């Protein structure tokens, strides 16, 4: 069975973008692949997080993984920090990645361009930790939204270079980017990605948003004055984004949705999108409550960490012997 690895960093509450671009696909793939789904909590602290809020977000993220349908009997679900080998391989990968490569990463450049000050070294080097996360498990595939594709490509380049230098060590992974919904945009500024760290922004739907709040955000989504429901991300980014959201959740193709709403006003179309979103959120939120009430999170994380650790410790030892830094038999 081919292996798939995926992760999310809960720097806030998980969003509809995380769900459509990533989480929903982890669930869909868990029967076909051996799924390793972790919570990237080290990646969270590349930007300061309030410790109490972070703990809550981590717990909610695990609960949402399960509520969205990840089955811990099929998938290995764990916290990155419970497997110490990630940080160690992260350092090794940072010694096998060039600064020129990191300088080209658009996520970091975007944060820099926004004029954000006090950017940390951890934020700059986090793609090397992400390479470690993936390569540790010899993942065949990594399902990601569009924004993370560049990081998986960097991981591939590093793996190829490492294999060339030290002999065949890593499987070179493939990114899997969904055809629809790979980049869900902000509802208040559809030229910008929907991001969980845009706190309090009307543009972002959180999976645990009150349904009335979610509906309001969709009904007030920024559109255009063309008054025609059609898929044209350049001239109608708002409407195109809503079409993607509807299509990803309902499974109806964008072409069919355009036909269905060709004579509708934007109000009617937005109501249909809000119905589909609220239906999905209501299912997720009911399952989330059950997961929290069941008290199963600790056990799932412990079991997942044990399984992941077994793979990671063997792999790290093999890597360290290849490089020449491990000299004693474990």
From 5, 13, 15, 83, residue interacting with ligand AQP (rule: CB under 6 A) = 15
Stretch that binds ligand AQP, among 188-196, 206-214, 245-253, 303-311 (CB under 6 A): 188-196
Q: Whole-number minimum distance, CB 39 to ligand AQP, in Å?
A: 9
CB 1 within 8 A of CB 34: yes
Interior angle at CA 111, CA 106 and CA 112, nearest 5: 95
Among residues 183, 210, 200, 207, which one has the least CA distance to residue 57?
A: 207
For residue 330, count other CB atoms closer than 10 A to its CB. 9
CA atoms of 25 and 19, how far apart (whole Å): 8
Q: Which is nearer to ligand AQP, 122 or 228 (CB)?
A: 122
Among residues 47, 36, 66, which one has the least CA distance to residue 297?
A: 66
Catalytic residue flag (residue 193): yes
- Measured from each CB, the residue nearest to ligand AQP is 21
CB 53 within 8 A of CB 45: no
Q: Does 128 bind ligand AQP (CB under 6 A)?
A: no
Q: Does 8 bind ligand AQP (CB under 6 A)?
A: yes
Q: Does 57 bind ligand AQP (CB under 6 A)?
A: no
Q: Which is nearer to ligand AQP, 134 or 272 (CB)?
A: 134
Q: Whole-number minimum distance, CB 8 to ligand AQP, in Å?
A: 4
CA atoms of 119 and 295, how far apart (whole Å): 37
User: Could you tell me how many residues make up the chain?
Assistant: 330
Q: Which helix (H) or strand (E) holds 143?
A: strand 141-143
Q: Which string of x and - marks every residue 140-159 that binds ligand AQP (by CB under 6 A)?
A: ----xx-xx-----------
Catalytic residue among 59, 111, 307, 322, which? 111
From 4, 5, 17, 280, residue interacting with ligand AQP (rule: CB under 6 A) = 17
Q: Does 18 bind ligand AQP (CB under 6 A)?
A: yes
Interior angle at CA 209, CA 206 and CA 210, nearest 5: 165
Q: Which is nearer to ligand AQP, 140 or 326 (CB)?
A: 140
Query: Using CB under 6 A, which residues numbered 65 to 94 contact ligand AQP?
Result: none
Among residues 274, 183, 276, 278, which one has the least CA distance to residue 233?
A: 183
For residue 272, count other CB atoms closer than 10 A to its CB. 18
Enter the tokens of residue 242: 């809503």
From 196, 215, 270, 315, residue interacting with ligand AQP (rule: CB under 6 A) = 196
Q: Which residues are catalytic?
A: 111, 193, 196
> Which residues contact ligand AQP by CB under 6 A?
8-9, 11, 15, 17-18, 20-22, 40, 144-145, 147-148, 182-184, 193-197
């Amino acid at each position: 069975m081919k292996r798939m690895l995926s992760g999310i960093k809960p720097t806030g509450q998980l969003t509809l973008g995380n769900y459509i671009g990533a989480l929903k696909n982890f669930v869909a793939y868990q029967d076909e692949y051996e799924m390793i789904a972790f919570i990237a909590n080290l990646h969270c602290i590349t930007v300061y997080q309030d410790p109490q809020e972070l703990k809550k977000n981590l717990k909610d993220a695990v609960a949402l993984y399960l509520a969205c349908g990840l089955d811990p009997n099929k998938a290995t679900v764990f916290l990155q920090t419970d497997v110490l080998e990630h940080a160690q391989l992260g350092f090794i990968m940072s010694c096998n990645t060039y600064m020129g490569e990191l300088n080209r990463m658009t996520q970091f450049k975007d944060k820099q361009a926004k004029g954000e000050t006090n950017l940390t070294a951890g934020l700059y080097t986090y793609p090397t930790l992400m390479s470690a996360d993936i390569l540790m498990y010899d993942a065949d595939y990594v399902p990601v939204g569009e924004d993370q594709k560049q990081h998986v490509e960097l991981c591939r380049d590093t793996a190829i270079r490492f294999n060339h230098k030290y002999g065949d060590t890593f499987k070179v992974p493939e990114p899997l980017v969904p055809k629809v919904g790979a980049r869900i945009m902000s509802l208040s500024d559809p030229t910008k990605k929907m991001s969980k760290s845009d706190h309090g922004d009307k543009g972002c739907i959180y999976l645990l948003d009150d349904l009335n709040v979610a509906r309001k955000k969709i009904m007030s989504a920024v559109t255009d004055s063309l008054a025609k429901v059609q898929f044209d991300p350049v001239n109608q980014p708002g409407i195109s984004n809503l079409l993607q959201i509807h299509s990803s959740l309902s499974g109806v193709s964008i072409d069919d949705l355009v036909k269905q709403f060709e004579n509708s006003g934007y109000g009617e179309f937005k109501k249909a999108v809000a119905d589909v979103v609220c239906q999905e959120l209501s299912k997720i939120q009911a399952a989330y409550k059950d997961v929290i009430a069941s008290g199963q999170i600790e056990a799932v994380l412990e079991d997942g960490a044990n399984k992941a650790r077994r793979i990671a410790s063997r792999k790290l030892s093999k890597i360290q012997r290849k490089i020449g830094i491990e000299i004693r038999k474990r």
